[in-house]
Chains A and B, each alone.
Chain A
Amino acid sequence: MALPLPPGLTPPEIAFLCEMELVTVIPRQRLEGLELLGGPLKPLNPPQRTSVPLWLALLLKRQRRANILPPPWLSPESLTAILDHETEYADAFSPPPRLPPLASNNTLPFSPPFLPSSTADAAPDALPYHWLELGEMLLEAAADDFEDPDNVRKLLRGLREVRMAKLRHGVEVLDAGGGVPMNGVGGMEVGEGRAFVTGVIDGLRKIAASREQQKKDREREERENGYSDYDNDEMDMQ
């Protein structure tokens, strides 16, 4: 309570994490390979396309040393299709991009930002985790690399409105033990919705605390009496 910051991440922090995403650039100048903390970077040879982290791409763009190639899902056609999907299915978010198959059974699965979900060869039909931040930043820094930046901006706004409304109305079906399917929700949306959704869940838990206590007491009693109906109950609930 004494902390001035709310729990979770603030929007600038989410945007900072997003800057690790790889994007495709077309360099205009040669640049020698860099040894970055995140791994070595291949030398930039114009006009060969390369994937670089977003922060470097924005820097190069600002210095006019490179052009950014927006990911395919940031095209007006893809965004319109996704927006249609969002408005058609009122109770689910559009699915996140499919994960690539694992190389072998004992490798750890990759997660953003180590997936190439925002490069030029990303899937065109799904919004990746950092869609909103990445879209806004690219539109701001590299609007001239888009074919139709105003339309893209409008569609992003529309998507954001539709999805936030869904997130807000998801709480109506919550109860102290239940949940809302949040597959496909992006980083910035989680950050924006966190305070409200957790507040609602806390409030509901407070109201239903006495019922929960009763349930626990009853279960404990049953277990102490050697009455093993408890396992069956849990199976039924699932």
Chain B
Amino acid sequence: MGSYYDVDAILTDAQKVPCTFELTVPGLGFLEGNMSGDMKQGSKVELPLWLGEMLALSQSLNTSSLVTLDAPSALAPRVLNALKADPRTVDLRALAPHFYNLGARILELFDEEEMIEVLSDTFKARAAVIADQAHNPRGALGEGADFLRGLDENERQLFRAAHDSAKAVRAWMTELKKK
């Protein structure tokens, strides 16, 4: 998934997910802010996705895994319900700057049909609004400003792409008039 140097992929992997330790790990207390202590069994810590994933998937000799992952708060049922109700009003950027990438990574780990549906529908509904805003130069400053501030990184790229292509056509038309 993504290139090794893809900044967005790196930033996605750096987002925190809640993990629960299943075993007591000696010397790992610094993750909790406990500099010299042990990581107790059952303690909940927010770990970056890459670390949590590695710990959850790596199998030690006794077959139970080290930590269990939970879905991050950005993808909690509360958020998904809000998205189902009205995708346009949710501030995705406040939830996670790389909301959809995070969703895709989480869906690789969990099997959740419904989340795929909700995320796809959200993306489609918001993409239509993004396209309208991108073609309407006043929208970005006026009533659309709040919506645009809540776009996640993917959606910002989409906005930029739609805006740039519309601008290129307009530039060509004005160029034509100068001749």
> Which residues of A are interface residues toward B (Cβ below 8 A)?
6, 10-12, 15, 136-137, 140-141, 164, 168-169, 171-172, 174-176, 188, 191-196, 199-200, 203-204, 206-211, 213-214
For the complex, give the distance between the alpha carbons of A211 and B111 in Å: 9
5 more contacts with CB within 8 A, not counting A140-B179, A204-B123, are A168-B135, A200-B127, A209-B104, A210-B104, A210-B111
Residues of B contacting A210 with CB < 8 Å?
104, 107-108, 111, 116
B158 within 8 A of A: yes
Closest to A13 in B: B172
> Which residues of B are interface residues toward A (Cβ below 8 A)?
1, 100-101, 103-104, 107-108, 111, 113, 116, 119-120, 123-125, 127-128, 131-132, 134-135, 154, 157-158, 161-162, 164-166, 168-169, 171-173, 175-177, 179
Q: What are 17 inter-chain pairs, A to B, with CB distance below 8 A?
A: A11-B171, A12-B172, A140-B176, A164-B135, A172-B124, A176-B120, A192-B168, A194-B165, A200-B124, A203-B123, A203-B158, A206-B101, A210-B104, A210-B107, A210-B116, A213-B108, A214-B111
Among all A-B residue pairs, the 3 with the closest Cβ atoms:
A11-B172, A195-B161, A168-B131
Closest chain-A Cβ to B157's Cβ sits at a distance in Å of 7
CB contacts between A and B, total, < 8 Å:
100
A175, A176, A206: most-surrounded residue (chain B CB, <10 A): A206
Contact of B162 among A141, A175, A188, A196 (CB under 8 A): A196
Residues of B contacting A169 with CB < 8 Å?
128
Main DSSP-derived SS at the A contact region: helix
For the complex, give the distance between the alpha carbons of A200 and B131 in Å: 10
Residues of A contacting B128 with CB < 8 Å?
168-169, 171-172
Interface pair B131/A203, CB less than 8 Å apart: no
Closest chain-A Cβ to B176's Cβ sits at a distance in Å of 5
Interface pair A209/B108, CB less than 8 Å apart: yes
Closest chain-B Cβ to A159's Cβ sits at a distance in Å of 14
Residues of A contacting B162 with CB < 8 Å?
195-196, 199
Interface pair A196/B158, CB less than 8 Å apart: yes
With A196-B131, A203-B154, A206-B101 as known contacts, state yes or no: A6 contacts B161, CB within 8 Å.
yes
For the complex, give the distance between the alpha carbons of A148 and B120 in Å: 47
Residues of A contacting B135 with CB < 8 Å?
164, 168
For the complex, give the distance between the alpha carbons of A216 and B154 in Å: 26
Interface pair B120/A175, CB less than 8 Å apart: yes
With A6-B161, A204-B123, A211-B116 as known contacts, state yes or no: A171 contacts B100, CB within 8 Å.
no
Interface pair B123/A192, CB less than 8 Å apart: no
Contact of B157 among A199, A209, A214 (CB under 8 A): A199
Contact of B116 among A11, A168, A207 (CB under 8 A): A207
With A168-B131, A171-B124 as known contacts, state yes or no: A199 contacts B161, CB within 8 Å.
yes
Interface pair A206/B124, CB less than 8 Å apart: no
Interface pair B169/A188, CB less than 8 Å apart: yes
For the complex, give the distance between the alpha carbons of A168 and B162 in Å: 10
Interface pair A6/B101, CB less than 8 Å apart: no
Interface pair A208/B172, CB less than 8 Å apart: no
Closest chain-B Cβ to A56's Cβ sits at a distance in Å of 16
